[in-house]
Amino acid sequence: MQITPLLNDGYAGEPAKRVLNYVQDHRQAGDPVVGIYCGYAPIELIQAMGIVPAVLCAFSKVPIAAAETVLPANLCPLIKSSYGFIIEGTCPFYAMSQAVIAETTCDGKKKMFELIADIKPTHVMDLPQVPDEAEARSNWKQMIVKLQGFLETHFDRQADEEKIEASLQAANRKNALMRRIFDYAARVPSVLHWKEMYDLSFLAIAATGQEMVPLLEPLPDILEQRVREGFHVGPPKAPRVLVTGCPVGGDATKIFNTIEVAGGVVVAPDACTGMKAFMGEFAENSGDPIGAMAERYLKIPCACMTPNERRLTDLSAMIGHFKPDAVIDFVLQACHAYNVESFKIGRHVEEVHGLPFLKIETDYSDADTEQLRTRIEALFESI
Amino acid sequence: MSEDYRSMWTDLGLDLVAHDALLSVLGQGYQDIYLSQKNRPEGMAYFDFVMSEVHGLRIKELLDEKAAGRKIVGSFCVFVPEELVLAANATLVGLCSGADFATEDVERLLPRNTCALIKSSFGFKLGKVCPYLESADMIVGENTCDGKKKAYESLGGLVNNLYVMDLPQVKSANGKALLKAEYQRFKAALEDLTGVAITKESLKDAIHTVNAKRAAIHRLSALRKADPAPISGLDALLANQVFFYDNPARFTESVNKICDELEKRIAAKQGVFPAKTPRILVSGCPQAVPNWKLPMIVEAAGAVIVGEESCVGERGTRHLTDASGETVEQMLDAIVDRHFQVDCAIFTPNPDRLEHIQQMVADYHADGVIHYGLQFCQPYLMESMPVEKALEDRQIPCLRIETDYSMEDVGQLKTRIEAFVEQLK
Amino acid sequence: MGQRYAGIDIGSRTIELVVVDETDAIIESQERDTGFDPMAEAKGMIEKVSFDRIMATGYGRNLFEISFDAMTVTEIKAHARGARALFPDIQAIIDIGGQDSKAIALFDNGRVKKFEMNDRCAAGTGKFLEIMARTLGFSIEDFGPEALLAENSLNISSMCTVFAESEVTSLIAKGENRREIALGLHASVIRRAAGMINRVSTDGEIAFTGGVANNPCMATLLSEKLGRPIRVPEHPQRIGALGAALLAREAD
């Protein structure tokens, strides 16, 4: 069946090229570019200042060998890849960025940023690790204010409260639309393919609310049409899978591909590269837009937070909404935070939701795809 | 054990069979590694006794303290301020984390690729073989590295008295404010536990007690500058390890007694190894009892360890707490200041540690540095490369070791360490 | 007759014995499999030659020291000494033996400046190549020459012997060319070896020692990868024993 692509711009299946094009266009128009690595980077502030946030390359296995000449081998592939891209000079986004925003999320990243700090100006945001601690919100707000100061001096761009508030409100609309589109994956059967979600998320993280909203608004109609035409992703009875855990992109999408090869359908990619980026709302007209930003960002249930109970509540809500038949926790090798937390996630999924659970610990190589397939097929057999 | 402690261990809920096995391995290891050394200072007999009673008499003492109304607080990290614990009429003890135990059970809760120290602390709990942990009224965890931070979430399900302290990761004004807030919360939690309010008198006393203990270690460290070295690295490490277990006043007195003896040795130009023996500084992850693997290999390879840049060593003990404060608030600030200087690799950036390593190389006349990294300990493994590079730029040879508590790699480590020692000669 | 000095390198796979005279000329050399009783094998070897002093190296050196009251030296220093004797201009050595691999950087005077060894597993060693050759159905002698005949190299990502074996098995199952898989395996070992060399030394000539240096594909790929001159001795597996013999003389 012929289906209408969601973004008919010639970049289907090549989200990185689409975003590269987006960033290049802005750069030619004179906008400065700042590199980001993480879902905690407050993009709404960056965008309000007229600066383009570029998500830096971190998902290819190619530069890992170069990185391993300097970094310990027992480090997560995302960090090794990021660092390898930088020392090999192969990340176009890094090349275009005039500075990098870093966060103290995990030990590996924190120490990696120390190594790249002398290559390019790197602004480290000290991220609280106990989000429910009394001081967390004000500390994180201060970090965002400091970031604003760094961006002001570095790029000579300003944003008043009004601009920041407008940016937040536009982001709320963008995020709400994204969630509305994701809802088509929540249908049984799903009419939205994971590659389409992945394509959209890639662009929607970098682009502003103002830019994204007109792009996203027509999409529900296209998806409605799919429903009417009886289109669905995968066989109608295919096992529905929620994938939680570490970010997925580039070579790591082998997890999604393998799920498909094994006969499943990815209905909910819950990660910083997937739905997590579009969850929650910024409080509007609070009179303190930066505080509102701090509040919303601290609600991201990254495993670097402790105790990360919010991940369990959010996961439960997602399970209720997307109705998966199984949950896969995707853990990048040597990512201690997600790896240790996986124990809790598994227990929660099995005991509270009675769903089959599988933890996959892997890297970017293709070495284990056959083994992953066997394990995922066995998971589906248990449904 | 000189007395039968079996009923005490049973009361604590230890698994006697497993505990017997542990003690026999520990005893044999101590015999082979420690008692076989030559030219040991006589004062080390005290530490031999402490080690022989580490699960016996010392536990009995703690239980006696408990019976008299004192509380016992167990900790895994030097960021837990002993001053506050003592001032609240409680005793601080380090919890066991230096040997593999109940590995299969541990790996049901924690990933296999978690560092040996974290796995060990779980193993001692799951295997029911750590009397310190079982006699503790409060166990303090702290958000240092990713592994510990997340592991405490699971440990919380295994014990009913875990208190988790958050820690800063950046040495900024915010970071310091966070540490202070955490210490204030900890102080309140301690007072709540013991029912004893910390006063300026009790806090001042506590600061003096802990400072005295640190000063004794400083004195011992300074004597290790001599060539020939008057004490082996193994023995000095042991003193640094017992620092975490022993009664503070008795520890201070015993270390000072050893120092008196070492001063005489130095005056007589006597040492444990001949003069001009290659001198090595160990830097990196902590080595907890009974993790004596590295110094055992180094000293058997014909070198002597003259310092430990480690939490079980100079990183943990080098700063004193300013005792001049007149109010609890001022002294609390001094405690914050003191602990905020600890240059653990969890901080970013962490330039002070590199400075300190170089300072120690100079002070202890080290010929080379062995960077000791526990497998999967990302903060120290990540720092090991820049540390190595900085040292080599200054013509200081450096060997990076990445290992765990198992004995499988002893053969390979021996080759590497012997080659390193050859390089220094 | 002048004094004779022996060096014995007791490795995990083979034992080598070299005897030199007072002018450092090699007057005798022997080699045999380590087998299950290395000390019995070593005894058999030294009984056949005469020498005045002996120095042992290799992983069995400490056992030999106890059994025969000999001096010992680590493989690292022995390889450094042996390789420098043959190639006076080298700046570094890569030694890939049966169970471990090491990269050694030298000072101009020949002393060890810095070294690295592989982790505790067999990844990137002779053992790894041996297992992979067997998985692919090549003899160990043919493995390198066959790999050199491949037109393309397949990328092998696993360095762990166990994972690589299953990766190779699945490539065979997919019908991939055996020579190309072989070349890919060689390239993966070289990537690791090159990483080790680069961490200790960045320029100058390199000696390639250890049994794996007999594999022509390894030397070719190594020089391509590093862009530095690679010198392979005629009997690369004997360099440790030679170094030990020379050090025995110098200790006299």
Mean pLDDT of C32-49: 93
Min Cα separation A121/chain B (Å) = 14
- List phi, psi (to 5°) of A276: -55, -35
Whole-angstrom CA distances from C1 to B65, B210, C20, C51, C245 are: 78, 70, 13, 11, 17
Residue with tokens 């135990």: B101
Examine the pLDDT at A151 and tell me if it is beyond 70: yes
Mutation for testing the C interface, residue in B396, B423, B424, B425 having most C CBs under 10 Å: B423
Joined together, the tokens standing for residue A380 give: 């589906």
Question: pLDDT of B70-81, one tens digit each?
Answer: 999 999 999 999
Average pLDDT over residues B276-293: 97
DSSP B96: P
pTM of the model: 0.92
Best probe of the A interface among B145, B172, B348, B381, by most A CBs < 10 A, is: B348
Q: Is the pLDDT of residue C119 over 70?
A: no
Whether residue A210 is predicted with pLDDT greater than 90 in this model: the reply is yes
Which of A108, A135, A337 lies closest to B178 in CB terms? A135
B2 has a pLDDT exceeding 60 = no
Domain span including residue B387: 204-320+344-424
Residue A285, C-beta contacts closer than 8 angstroms, at least 6 positions apart? A165
In a domain, B387, yes or no: yes
Cis peptide before A32 (omega within 30 of 0): no
**B283 in a domain, yes or no?**
yes
What is the C-alpha separation between A26 and A322, in angstroms, rounded? 36
Say yes or no to pLDDT of A27 above 90: yes
| CATH code for position B219 | 3.40.50.11900
Which chain C residue shows the shortest CA-CA distance from A69? Answer: C195
Arithmetic mean of pLDDT over chain C: 91
Share of chain B above pLDDT 70, in %: 99
| CB neighbourhood size of C197 (10 A) | 26
Q: Which residue in B153, B174, B350 is closest to A139 by CB distance?
A: B174
Which helix (H) or strand (E) covers residue B281, if one does? strand B279-284
Q: Is residue B303 part of a domain?
A: yes
Quick check: A1 pLDDT over 60? no
Residue B306 lies in a domain: yes
Confidence of residue B241 (pLDDT cuts 50, 70, 90): very high
Give the separation between CA A180 and CA A172, rounded to whole angstroms: 12
Residue A199 forms beta bridges with which residues? none
pLDDT greater than 80 at residue B138: yes
Q: What are phi and psi of B342, to 5 degrees?
A: -60, 125
**Cβ <8 Å between C157 and A68:** no
- Check residue C154 and give its pLDDT: 86
In a domain, B85, yes or no: no
Question: Residue A357 has which token pair?
Answer: 């659970």
**Which member of C62, C100, C115 has the closest CB to residue B412?**
C100
Q: Looking at chain B, how many residues does it have?
A: 425
Residue A144 three-state SS: helix
- Alpha helix locations (H) across chain C? 38-46, 61-68, 75-86, 126-136, 140-148, 161-173, 178-200, 216-226, 239-251
Give the whole-angstrom CA distance, residue C126 versus residue C97.
6
**What is the predicted ipTM?**
0.93
Proportion of chain A above pLDDT 70, given as a percent? 99
A78, A106, A111, A342: which to substitute to probe chain B, counting the most B Cβ within 10 Å? A111
Q: How many domains does the structure of chain B reveal?
A: 1
From CA A368, how far away is CA C209, in angstroms rounded?
Answer: 33
Which residue of chain A comes nearest to C187, CA vs CA?
A65
Contact A84, A112 (CB under 8 A): no
From the list B110, B348, B381, the residue facing A104 with the nearest CB is B348
* pLDDT at C1 (0 to 100): 62
Residue A210 CA to residue A280 CA, distance in Å, equals 18
pLDDT tens for residues A34-85? 999 999 999 999 999 999 999 999 999 999 988 988 888 889 999 999 999 9
B163 in a structural domain: no
H or E segment at B204? Answer: helix B200-223
Identify the chains in contact with A, defined as 3+ C-beta pairs within 8 A: B, C
Query: Does B234 score more than 60 pLDDT?
Result: yes
Q: Which residues of C touch A68 (CB under 8 A)?
A: 195
Q: Is residue B209 part of a domain?
A: yes
Write down all domains in chain C, each with its CATH number in brackets: 1-87+238-252 (3.30.420.40), 89-232 (3.30.420.40)
- SS3 readout for C195-222: HHHHHHCCCCEEEEECHHHHCHHHHHHH
At C52-62, the pLDDT tens digits run 999 999 989 98
- B397–C111 C-beta distance less than 8 A: no
CB contact under 8 A, B419 and C59: no
Nearest CA in chain B to C101: B412
Cα R_g (chain C), whole angstroms: 18
pLDDT for residue B373: 97
Handedness of CA A132, A128, A198, A60 (dihedral sign): negative
Of B392, B409, B419, the CB nearest to C115: B419
Q: In which band, very low, low, confident or very high, does the pLDDT at C120 lie, cut at 50, 70 and 90?
A: low
Structure tokens of B206? Answer: 């506590």
Would an 8 Å CB–CB cutoff place C114 in contact with chain B? yes
- Indicate the residue of B151, B168, B384 with minimum beta-carbon distance to A340: B151
pLDDT at B227 over 80: yes
Q: How many residues does chain A have?
A: 383
CA distance readout (Å), B303 to A163, B190, B357: 65, 44, 19
The residue-averaged pLDDT of B39-63 equals 95
pLDDT at B364: 98
Cβ atoms of C90 and C204 within 8 Å: the answer is yes
> Is B402 inside any structural domain?
yes
Q: Is the pLDDT of residue A232 over 60?
A: yes
pLDDT of residue A181: 97
A–B interface: beta-carbon pairs under 8 A: 121
- Residue B418 sits at the chain C interface (C-beta within 8 Å): yes
pLDDT tens sequence across C75-106: 999 999 999 999 999 999 999 988 888 999 99
CA nearest to A371 within chain C: C166
Whether residues C100 and B409 touch (CB distance < 8 A) is answered with: no
